[in-house]
Amino acid sequence: MTAVDLQQPVLLSLLGAGFVTAFLHAALPTHWLPFVLVGRGQRWTLLQVLGVVTAAGLAHIVTTAVVGGLIVAAGLALDQWISGLLPWLSAALLFAFGAFYLGRAVLRPAVMAGGPTLDLSEPTVSHGAAVWGLVLMMALSPGEVLLPFYLAQATEGPLVLAALTLVFAVGTVLGMALFTVLARAGWSALRLERWARYEGVILGLALILIGLLVVLHQH
């Protein structure tokens, strides 16, 4: 088999892993709880909430892509001095993030305290202020767990990085929308909190496995 034949399944595997990682990362309460609370306070319809979720999710990925692009540029500059460093550096980051999420999930349960609270007895803010507040909240918090994927594919060109960004966007928006819909449909906070705890374990193991995939690809 040629190098291209070998590289294509690895690339597809990383894109698939990127989608799963983005989807699971969207299970964190900060990615859906604010939309449920604010949407209830503003008395938004489900379609209105999902519209805001989509805008905020895309803003989240745009910021992630910008930070990822800066990391890629820095990594490529460094790779010119130390040949072949990027794959090993990306694998090390994947292992580190995987160990962090796995350790955090095992050592302490997920809590809902990190999300904002909303007193429904207070007057609601304007529609525009509520929308921009949620969008900016997500835009100012890039998905750090997704950044090693950009570094892993830094030498593959802009088309691959664009495909990776598209996969992240689809996975993130779908995940945020799903958990927002489930919460509005009556799923208890306890059930979603349990999922967030499992998300940490699954995400940690997935990142470690992806790191192993990157390492094995170097042999």
pLDDT tens across the length of the chain (219 residues): 334 443 566 678 878 888 988 998 888 778 888 898 888 888 899 999 999 999 999 999 999 999 888 878 877 776 666 556 666 766 777 777 777 767 776 775 544 433 434 444 443 568 888 899 899 989 988 887 888 888 777 777 888 889 999 999 999 999 999 999 988 887 655 455 555 556 667 667 766 776 776 666 555
Here the tokens at position 202 are: 């699954």
As a whole number of angstroms, the distance between CA 129 and CA 59 comes to 16
Helix/strand/coil for 122: coil
> Of 96, 93, 101, nearest to 151 (Cα)?
93
Residue with tokens 């309460």, as numbered in its chain? 29
CB-count exposure of residue 31 (10 Å: 0-12, 13-18, 19+): buried
